[in-house]
């Protein structure tokens, strides 16, 4: 017989996860609100303007009623920045995140989306085998923990694409693939949203980078000037496609394009595209060594 003992620190992480999941689903960040409002000033098509006004009204009602901005509560995806001196082992951090996700689903309550990939049977309150998804970063000379929650709905997640470009394709090949991906997606990922592009590394890491890109504040630019230039160019090109809000045609197809990159092998050039719908939800908790928690939007 084994006994599991929950420490105060583990309880703090569990509470943080339960709060983050619901907070992210109810209260979208201010930079996203500003981007949506700005989009409404630029949209000239009648259908596009109606969609954007409906989105803005939806956000306002969610605030007033303290309810969800979208019925698709997605799956919880966490990124943890763990200090090397943080005294809770990653295995216990994961257990706390999983329990916190379950608590949020039951206590709110939220729709439970988690199913077995073959049988399609529900596996629990938004948890299951390898759910929630957690990405890890380990930080030297620090005793804290940062947890970012980015709930990801299926409409936008289904519009994910990967291409193993060859170096000879160059920047032109990257642009062409991103444009083809977004044009092919049309209205399915609930535009206007954020297009995340991951370039370099390996096939799996490029997709991770694309998902990292969608979690940045709207309109921030990559510190590498070459990458930042490509972000600007793609942002303009994507909004020239005419797809418009919800695919009904218009001036605003994307709120922004963000790119993250990694160095890669000389004969590789992986490019991944991950779409984040207009309700680009994200929330972060900072847990110190004493178990005190502060809530924020960013790392």
Which residue ranges in the chain fall short of pLDDT 50? Answer: 1-5
The size of the chain, in residues, is 299
Q: What is the pLDDT of residue 120?
A: 97
* Beta pairing class for 77-83 and 145-149: antiparallel
User: Angle 298-98-72 (CA atoms, 0-180°, nearest 5)?
Assistant: 70
Q: Which pLDDT value is given to residue 4?
A: 41
Q: Could you give the residue range(s) of every CATH 3.30.1330 domain in the chain?
A: 8-25+70-151+281-296
- Tell me how crowded residue 1 is: count the other CB atoms within 10 A of its CB: 2
Confidence (pLDDT) at 299? 82
pTM, 2 dp: 0.93
The CATH fold of domain 8-25+70-151+281-296: 60s Ribosomal Protein L30; Chain: A; (3.30.1330)
Q: What pLDDT score was predicted for residue 7?
A: 64
Distances (CA, A) of 214 to 27, 112, 196, 219, 220: 17, 23, 5, 11, 11
């Amino acid at each position: 017989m084994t006994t599991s003992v929950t420490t105060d620190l583990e309880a703090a992480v569990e509470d943080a996860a339960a709060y983050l999941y619901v907070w992210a689903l109810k209260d979208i960040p201010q930079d996203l609100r500003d981007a949506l409002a700005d989009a409404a000033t630029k949209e000239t098509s009648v259908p596009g303007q109606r969609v954007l006004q409906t989105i803005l009204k939806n956000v306002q009602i969610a605030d007033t009623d303290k309810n969800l901005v979208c019925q698709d509560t997605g799956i919880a995806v966490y990124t943890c920045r763990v200090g090397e001196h943080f005294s809770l082992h990653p295995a216990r951090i994961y257990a706390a995140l999983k329990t916190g996700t379950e608590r949020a689903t039951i206590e709110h309550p939220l729709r439970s989306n988690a199913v077995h990939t073959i049988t399609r049977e529900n596996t629990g309150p938004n948890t299951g085998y390898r759910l929630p998804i957690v990405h890890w970063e380990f930080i030297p000379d620090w005793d804290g923990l940062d947890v970012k929650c980015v709930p990801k709905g299926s409409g936008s997640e289904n519009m994910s694409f990967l291409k193993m470009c060859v170096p000879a394709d160059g920047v032109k090949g990257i642009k062409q693939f991103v444009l083809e991906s977004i044009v092919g997606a049309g209205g399915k990922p609930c535009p206007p949203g954020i297009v995340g592009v991951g370039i370099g590394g390996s096939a799996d890491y490029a997709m991770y980078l694309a998902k990292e890109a969608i979690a940045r504040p709207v309109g921030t630019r990559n510190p590498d000037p070459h990458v930042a230039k490509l972000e600007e160019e793609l942002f303009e090109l994507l909004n020239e496609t005419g797809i418009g809000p919800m695919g009904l045609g218009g001036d605003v197809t994307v709120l922004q394009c963000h790119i993250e990159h990694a160095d890669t092998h000389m004969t590789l050039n992986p490019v991944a595209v991950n779409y984040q719908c207009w309700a680009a939800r994200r929330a972060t908790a900072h847990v110190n060594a004493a178990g005190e928690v502060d809530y924020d939007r960013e790392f």
